[in-house]
Amino acid sequence: MTAILRTEQLTKWVTSGEQRIDILHPLDLQIQAGESVVIVGPSGSGKSTLMSLLAGIDAPSSGRIWLEQQELTALDEGELAALRRGTISFVFQDFLLLPALTALENVMLPLQLIGAEAPREQAQARLAEVALTARQHHFPAQLSGGEQQRVAVARAYASHPRILFADEPTGNLDAASGEQVIELLFRLNREQGTTLVVVTHDERVAGRAQRRLQLDAGQLLELD
């Protein structure tokens, strides 16, 4: 397999007054195309920070990041946005659906942004994959938390991203809904070959991944 994501001596720190606070110590990481990787660790360990760096949303304090052979740390904001648009999708703990759009329209949106052909038909197909055809014309406020997250998963996979980042995707869900979302994420990872990187506290998620990484006090460890 080829590394889709690679870091070299990646660090992140912030300053408070004259004090420097190290969030991530120098870390090297390779994630292979098509892999499923879970990053676990206690609250405040830097998991979400690392995900933001890997996705090109935040800039490291030092070190380098490559995504699809392009060095993220050498791109300007416009170039980063263009790369993310064609390569990366996200699923968040709080769903982040647009409340004024129906489930179908939420899934159509990223397809329209990249100029995909037949966005409505593609979005309907994605909603069918997450068993929400009957709810496609409902607005987020009319959906349960589990249904909203399934819409978010359908939206994330709609544009066939090369890599999907999920930040605590089951954090706001009950056990049954969380199990459905976990199954969806890993099934679509297998079927579409999308690289999956998940930040989570949920051991059910961690147990499904091919690789488990742990962040603790800014240090990244590979778990058996």
Higher local confidence (pLDDT), 2 or 184:
184
> How confident is residue 224, by pLDDT bands cut at 50, 70 and 90?
low
pLDDT tens digits for 7-36?
999 999 999 888 999 999 999 999 999 999
Of the candidates 128, 153, 150, 138, which has an alpha carbon nearest to the alpha carbon of residue 103?
138
> Residue 198, exposed/middle/buried by CB under 10 A (0-12, 13-18, 19+)?
buried
Query: What domains can you pick out in the chain, each with its CATH number?
Result: 34-61+76-223 (3.40.50.300)
Of the candidates 120, 212, 110, which has an alpha carbon nearest to the alpha carbon of residue 159?
110
Distance from C-alpha of 34 to C-alpha of 194, rounded to nearest angstrom: 5
Q: Yes or no: say if 2 and 32 are a contact pair by the CB < 8 Å rule.
A: yes
pLDDT at 1: 60
- Amino acid (one-letter) located at 41: G
Of 81-85, 179-183, 218-222, the one with minimum mean pLDDT is: 81-85
Backbone angles phi, psi at 110, to 5 degrees: -65, -30
Q: Rounded to whole angstroms, what are the CA distances from 175 to 24, 171, 172, 180?
A: 32, 10, 10, 9
pLDDT tens digits for 160-169?
899 999 999 9
- Amino acid (one-letter) located at 152: A
Cα dihedral 109→114→119→123 (10° resolution): -60
pLDDT at 113: 87
Q: Could you write out the three-class secondary structure of 120-132?
A: HHHHHHHHHHCCC
Q: Yes or no: say if 75 and 67 are a contact pair by the CB < 8 Å rule.
A: no
pLDDT tens digits for 107-160?
999 999 888 999 999 999 999 999 999 999 999 999 999 999 999 999 999 988
**What is the residue-wise DSSP string for 61-91?**
SEEEEEETTEEGGG--HHHHHHHHHHHEEEE
pLDDT at 82: 85
